[in-house]
Amino acid sequence: MPATIATTYISIYKLIPNYLIAKRYFLFGLYSIYTFIISIFGICLSMFFALAYLSDFKFEKMNTVGRSAVFIMACIYIVVLIVSAFKLLKLNLNQSKQNAELEAKILETQLKLKEQELNYLKMQIHPHFLFNTLNTMYGFALKKAEQTPEMILKLSNLLDYLLYQVDKPFVSLTEEINHIEDYISLEQMRFHDTLNVSFHKHIHSENIEIAPMLFLPFIENSFKHGAIKNGVLTIDILIETKNEYINFNIKNSSSKRANYYEGIGLENIKKRLELLYPNRYELSIAKNEDLFEVFLKLNLKHAETHG
């Protein structure tokens, strides 16, 4: 029994955790051999004193050690192997549990970082968007125009959308389109007869959801950098859905000097698309002397499940 306890203790508390689990295989093999040799010596010594005790230390009456010694050693090492196997299984289960907890913490951290980055990008978009709208309203207020109350109402709807709805992960496509129309109305009041906007919508379902403020930055960019040709700024907008895809296309009259890549608008929207629709979007931007065009195609297959 002392030899069994000692061998088992060394195996489960020293050899396995300190060398086998630590992948120090050479030392594990070396110390296992040492342990095996010492344990054999201990077993033989124990059997010798046991036989001596049973014969009252009269060595001439002692029984000889035969097959029983081999059987005893086999039993001892079977016990050691079984206990070591259970110890190894327990260590593996604990390691698997720790790995699962670590993966969960890493995933949670990544989700928090993703959420913080999205909030940061939204915060960058909002001031720019509001500044242009408030600047337009200021001009109307100075002129004491009759359209000012209507403009305030549309702006209040946009502010409600920006302050409350935009924090949602997804909003209905219909709601996004309604606020796009409010924004276009505000810009039409500002441009008067120098603006020609066409907005075409082909939506096959009212249940489609998208990330908020996804299209507005492109539209705002067209108004900000679009060029007036022959006395008119021309903007064509198309939003259509087909099966599990949504297509957004916007074109506006342009000039050589217009720089659509200034500021943070387009870069932000690219980052948001990468975070919200990874590997599920196509974005192409084209510019020539007379036209600037953006085409965005979204795969809504996964997004609609958030509804």
Average pLDDT, stretch 145-158?
Answer: 78
For 138-147, 198-207, 212-221, 261-270, which range has the lowest pLDDT when averaged over its residues?
261-270
Residue type present at position 181: E
Average pLDDT, stretch 164-190?
Answer: 81
CA separation (Å) from 164 to 131, 184, 223? Answer: 18, 21, 25
pTM over 0.75: no
- Cβ proximity of 88 and 16 under 8 Å: yes
Highest mean pLDDT among 93-97, 193-197, 265-269: 193-197
- Given this model, what pLDDT does residue 52 score? 66
Q: Per residue in 6-50, pLDDT tens?
A: 778 788 778 787 878 778 888 888 878 878 888 877 777 777 666
Name which residue leads in pLDDT, 275 or 52. 275
At CA 280, angle to CA 224 and CA 176, rounded to 5? Answer: 45
Identify the CA nearest to 170 among candidates 276, 243, 267: 276
Provide the 8-state DSSP code for 289: S
96 burial class (0-12, 13-18, 19+ CB within 10 angstroms)? exposed
**Residue the block writes with tokens 């299984």:** 89
Kindly report the average pLDDT of the chain as a whole number.
77
pLDDT at 251 over 90: yes
The rounded distance, in Å, linking the Cα atoms of 186 and 252 is: 17
Identify the CA nearest to 291 among candidates 250, 238, 231: 250
- Given this model, what pLDDT does residue 117 score? 58
Domains of the chain: 2-104 (no CATH), 111-306 (3.30.565.10)
- Given this model, what pLDDT does residue 151 score? 78
Q: Per residue in 107-128, pLDDT tens?
A: 776 666 666 555 555 555 556 5
Percent residues over pLDDT 70 in the chain: 78
Residue type present at position 225: H
